[in-house]
With several copies, the nearest count.
Chain A
């Protein structure tokens, strides 16, 4: 099972054009990047791996993970995983309609509580919701039901969106529903909180693999160009260590994403995804440290792009389960 090179090339070219340093910075300032999203949505990549019969773009889970790797590589400030392999996957699994716009999900933060009322409306609060303020609908599992509820950026009755941000400055909002009209359908076998969390973790591993790879490449270039004590800093043993560790972690994170993706294409892949997330988290911790260390003060500034990747990695390593949670799963 492999990914069509055309997917890689198209997505890579698209993001390289759209996700300039300035565009990513502007997305952070504005809390959204509608132009990047619409160009992305137009390609159909947003719904890759969702069957065409359900209103998706078709393609495999591996295709979706490859697109996410490139989202991570280019720090594309869009809810690609949320709309595609997470949100629309939930909706499609239960036969619910896919909206045209952004779908977001509830990653399952501490204190989240939602309940379906007797009249079919939804009440409760979810937090750390990616791009909640830009989402058309939220897809979530409540009491064994897949629920689809309008968010419309909080511009509808019964819904309020409190803006919050991740460590990367990306929207992670709190949304409160008060008897909000919702559609619901029974979640099929294999679609439940645990499988959703695995799928969420897998999406983060793919993103992280891309981001570490880019960060590693940035660091090699910087170390070759930057001179100190009369020579490129890449010639110092201490800097070489940083370059090697970052490259290892880039290779490791990408490799585990791909192997776990293969396994997840065939079954629940509990051990593989748990192991992949654990490895990706550790790789992110080591690689961000190594790359920042090699960059010195320059890497701490807004004007230099390292932080687009390092801050996203710090956010993603905590999302859908940290190291301890997944080590317990892998250890069983």
Chain B
């Protein structure tokens, strides 16, 4: 395992400058309430503007509407968007995962149907993976799809489906063969694409977050029919396809940037003032650690562009980033030593209040921190994940 040091090329720096210019124009400071990482606001108009620049589905083939760019290019765009707290929620999952999965495993018909719309920022996707009894044991899927003429009949329940109420479709992991028939819970699973709002028998129930906001949904299936043309890849191979999807999710800059916009806001609010030693040292420490993790994350993107599959490296970076986020919040809370409120007049304090409330979720999204450790630990020992 090696994180080869890498720096941005001249072209990549130009892209970074372009994104910064775009953001300064579209979202001048004060014009929007920044979102934190994956809780970024949902704004189809903004997604469309980004797509017009070629920044949604940018690593996908031009044939299907993508920009055929590199993982590092996507890294640059995502990094700037998250630092700015831009409203990238609508295209987030489709851009990061679903587009790639369809391009990799889907039929040409599916590619034509979905990918150009994803790249246009016109199609938001959710992921239907967790179930009420699955927890971190994601392969223990019990929502079953049974063969029917020309498709499948689905019954069961998915839970913690982020933004199902605001997105258009979701990609679902369903059991197409019982465990006792295939002998292993990772076999007999299939991925299917399902319209969230125009599917008879599909019902969404919001699960309010602890502060009342809705991100999560429960999605129940009552004899939902999914036509064969919406099955992605090979029936029964869903777990392997899904694992690939998870690997895309890890190691990206979302991990270690979702609280960094809060730090940057504190920098803005204290700019020009005489910092005390404690604040100066904390800024220094956070900047140094951000720099360290960012370099490693960028190395992972380069590895992907070199055609490698850095899954252990990604899990290591993600676990580090997650701990960095948690520690950043704790240190900031200690530093400001004041009562926080979501209604504070200081944007920094509002953001920090939001960080405190959503912080525990950072260790859960995309695999709990324990699962990440297990993936990484197996990789270190040369064992299969």
Contacts and interface: CB of A to CB of B under 8 A. Distances in A.
A touches B (Cβ under 8 A):
yes
Interface of A: 107, 109-110, 128, 164-167, 169, 172, 220, 224, 226-229, 233-234, 236-238, 240-241, 243-244, 247-248, 251-252, 254-256, 258-259, 261-262, 271-272, 274-276, 278-279, 282, 285, 288-289, 292-293, 296-297, 299-303, 306-307, 310-311, 314-315, 317-319, 321-332
Interface in B207-241: 207-212, 216
Contacts of A243: 377, 380-381
A110 B210 CA distance: 27
Interface string B264-286: 00000000000101111111110
A94 B284 CA distance: 33
A329 B135 contact: no
Residue picked from B160, B284, B333, B338, most chain A C-beta under 10 Å: B284
Contacts of B136: 228-229, 296
Nearest to B277: A328
Contacts of B133: 227
Interface in B1-57: 1-5, 7
B6 to A, nearest CB: 8
B299 A331 contact: no
A228 B136 CA distance: 7
B333 A244 contact: no
Interface string B350-385: 000100110011011000111001101100110000
B337 A318 contact: yes
B259 to A, nearest CB: 15
B380 A247 contact: yes
B312 to A, nearest CB: 9
B370 A167 contact: no
Contact of B1 (A166, A247, A275): A247
A327 B285 contact: yes
B287 to A, nearest CB: 5
B316 interface: yes
Interface stretch (B106-114, B243-251, B290-298): B290-298
Contacts of A247: 1, 316, 376, 380
Contacts of A169: 211-212
Nearest to B139: A229
B341 A164 contact: yes
30 contacts: A128-B341, A169-B211, A220-B380, A227-B133, A238-B373, A243-B381, A247-B376, A248-B316, A248-B319, A256-B291, A256-B292, A256-B295, A262-B5, A274-B288, A279-B289, A279-B291, A285-B330, A285-B333, A293-B369, A296-B368, A300-B210, A301-B209, A301-B210, A310-B210, A315-B339, A324-B337, A330-B283, A330-B288, A331-B283, A331-B285
B343 interface: yes
A24 to B, nearest CB: 12
B370 A228 contact: no
Contact of B364 (A282, A296, A325, A326): A296
A229 B186 CA distance: 12
Given A252-B320, A258-B5, A302 B212 contact: yes
Contact of A328 (B5, B281, B341, B377): B281
B137 interface: yes
A109 B344 CA distance: 12
Interface size class of B (residues with CB under 8 A): 35 or more
B103 interface: no
B295 A332 contact: no
A255 B297 CA distance: 11
A235 to B, nearest CB: 9
Given A164-B341, A254-B3, A302-B208, A322 B334 contact: yes
A167 B319 contact: no
B340 interface: yes
Contacts of A323: 285, 334, 337
A293 B326 CA distance: 12
B284 A274 contact: yes
B348 to A, nearest CB: 13
B130 interface: yes
Given A247-B376, A278-B284, 19 more contacts: A107-B339, A224-B381, A229-B136, A236-B370, A238-B373, A248-B376, A251-B2, A252-B320, A262-B7, A278-B285, A296-B135, A300-B360, A300-B364, A301-B209, A307-B210, A319-B339, A331-B279, A331-B283, A332-B280
B338 A301 contact: no
A252 B288 contact: no
Contact of B287 (A109, A236, A310, A330): A330
